[in-house]
Chain A
């Protein structure tokens, strides 16, 4: 029955506040490289904005007696090949070079971002049209287009940067398009649509927020490319000679390289530092963005086996055996503890002092909710703990050896041969690029040392044994060609292929439909009887436990709280947690019954019918 008391709802305790909420900008400020590059960019931008006040001379006024003058009090950095002040040209160069790059950047951003949003969000013909145009642009050689444009319209910094911006727009389009198509089918976008939000608002609130950060990073990169290409064009002398840019200074310096080598230094330095700053800034933004995602993943991983150190080790409730247990002991786990390194350098235990004994021909259920440590226990028996996890205490005795201590080489021989594994997700445990047959045959050849022909015969008979209707066809099929239930049968066939003594089944039916689940449970029961295997079955479903298990251990927060033969635990659970779990099962709850409305209590089933 379900308890009606909600006042002490344990779910309501909200987790402590998240520290990673600090904005991206503020986190980037902690990175010294990012601060330095932002500082340089700020100086460059300020110089560009106030060029008129900062420059001592007009950048285009040529004074004939100053040609190639060395640095002096009048011309602090000297004068160039036409007798123009280098410092003034450098300062005005910042203005025009950066403005030119900005024109290209804004053009490509406006075209690319809006195109990507429209094509990605609305799809259909808008998508097709945009993709065609963008592909066409990517097929055009940019430099040739720029040279052709110069031939037609003459040397213009602004026009060439505008055209270059158009040519660069695929960089933004592809980025935004990919992000938007990924987000478009998110459930929260559907929910927003159902909430009555208009398309404009959905794009602004839910979609732009996802692509905003990548756009900023891409801008830094594209801005750098625009500056580099622009300087290149000017260096080749294709620019407007009346516009002072860093590129044209570079060109002038190059012509006078042997007479006045310092001339090339200043524009090269300005271009180089700006490009380096933009690249470093983009990199550190990307790093911060990835870092802000990383702790979340870690947290979730750590959360799955969320066990608390503080939890006092309460007494394990053991139910008495009805008779003396028979059969040899196959697996004996004693006081097993599993821990993961925590961010503060300590160790976070997720399994505490777990002990269990499994005899030949016995199915032992490990049951609990998410985060109870049941899967961690199963993985440590296989020695397949996720990265960082390790066995920190206790022993796992299997066939006279302590699995907690054997070498990885020995473990490889034991896994698959004496201990087999059935995973939760059948599809993700089959390699999509190999046929089912080859994935069954190969382990058998290695583990049993039999020929390919023998292994194939054995695989076919196993496929028939696990109830696959056309073994030959399934043998030759790829994983995507079979259903989830069939894939799980294939994995079961693989698991029993080497006659294991112990089978670890991790939620083997959770991903399956209920009618398929019943078939797979039947199959597991038959095989277990036939091969007299010891089985450790991890599940959250008490129905599966009732169906298959001889003994059961109920786990909570990394500990076993109650253990014993299945029947007494279901009949008279003694631990409050077991009682709560069994109480939450709906099958014993009353059905809701027909809708009763005021004034009419008759059963309303006007269309109730069986077809």
Chain B
């Protein structure tokens, strides 16, 4: 087993309620998950299950009210702004929407050099690094002086991946990075994620609502439901032979792209629901 990188222990996230003494909204209830070096852990769940909140808690963008987020043994749940800035070279993010995650008024080169500039990387070195990044995410080398709006969704997501890789992080939180993409683009971007992981040994916390996507990219999979992890284990096992009733419902609800197999699955789903409701 490789080095333990991220260890989320019993994390609870509560958002303050609206108005005076409004009830706080609890988005995560005592959630635990761990990610090792070079590993991809998939977080799957439906809207409101808390999967995105867990990713944001790791990034320091959601208020952790209880529990610990250990990164290389250090609790970062309540890291100060200065500590966060230091952590930026270790933990990075790729967001879902490639249209709003890139500042529309900056060129691609400015977007990519921003994290490098903050670390006072010399100009010559940073432009070499950007060239390598273009290579890594398979964008043409002349993409640098263009604006994000000149690129398609898949290309923008590649730019976002390049930005995440700029500081050579150990962990990237991927928040639904392929959900907004077309089917064939989605497959290519997923391949890119896999290739980069094999090259650089970066770890992914990969958030998605799509069981197939998660199964394809993840070594281990955690299933979230109403702010809790209901099943966590080997990716193949969780996504092909789910044990928890909710994961089973999720599994049989996703239609397969084969009329005969789908007819079978529909029947299986009906029987499962009948059995679960009985």
Interface residues of A (CB under 8 A from B): 2, 4, 6, 9, 11-12, 14-15, 17-18, 21, 186-188, 190-199, 201, 205-206, 209-210, 296, 369-370, 513-518, 521-522, 540-547, 566-567, 570, 580-582, 584-589, 591-595, 597, 600, 602-611
Contacts and interface: CB of A to CB of B under 8 A. Distances in A.
Given A190-B95, A197-B118, A611-B228, A584 B183 contact: yes
Contacts of A587: 212, 254, 256-257
A27 to B, nearest CB: 15
B10 interface: no
B230 interface: yes
A585 B184 CA distance: 8
A332 B195 CA distance: 47
Interface of B: 1-2, 32-34, 36, 38-40, 46-47, 59-61, 81, 84-89, 91-93, 95-97, 100-103, 105-106, 114-115, 118-119, 138-140, 142-143, 146-147, 149-152, 154-155, 160, 163, 166-167, 182-188, 190-192, 194, 209-213, 215-220, 228-237, 239-240, 243-244, 249-250, 252-262, 266, 269
B115 A581 contact: no
Contacts of B166: 195
B193 to A, nearest CB: 11
Given A514-B253, A546-B258, A605-B220, A610 B191 contact: no
Nearest to B119: A196
A210 to B, nearest CB: 8
B219 A11 contact: no
A515 B100 CA distance: 28
A15 B240 contact: no
Contact of B188 (A9, A518, A567): A9
The 4 closest A-B pairs by CB, nearest first: A196-B88, A608-B233, A543-B255, A542-B257
A581 B184 contact: yes
- What does DSSP make chain B's interface, helix, strand, loop or mixed? mixed
A513 B198 CA distance: 32
A595 B150 contact: no
B84 to A, nearest CB: 7
Nearest to A299: B149
A513 B209 contact: yes
A588 B258 CA distance: 10
A592 B139 contact: no
A546 B262 contact: yes
Given A544-B255, A546-B255, A606-B1, A195 B231 contact: no
B139 A195 contact: no
Contact of A205 (B59, B102, B114, B190): B114
Contact of A591 (B118, B187, B231, B235): B235
A592 B40 contact: yes
Nearest to A598: B2
Given A14-B146, A188-B100, A521-B255, A194 B236 contact: no
Given A369-B182, A595-B220, 13 more contacts: A14-B151, A191-B93, A194-B88, A196-B167, A206-B103, A513-B46, A514-B254, A543-B257, A547-B266, A592-B194, A597-B38, A611-B229, A611-B230
Contacts of A581: 183-184
B259 A608 contact: no
Contacts of B230: 610-611
A565 to B, nearest CB: 9
23 contacts: A6-B192, A11-B152, A12-B155, A14-B146, A14-B151, A17-B150, A18-B147, A21-B147, A187-B95, A194-B93, A195-B166, A369-B183, A369-B184, A515-B253, A518-B255, A543-B262, A547-B255, A567-B260, A586-B216, A589-B212, A589-B216, A592-B236, A604-B219
A370 B152 CA distance: 11
Contacts of B151: 14-15
Given A370-B182, A595-B36, A603-B234, A195 B118 contact: yes
A593 B235 contact: yes
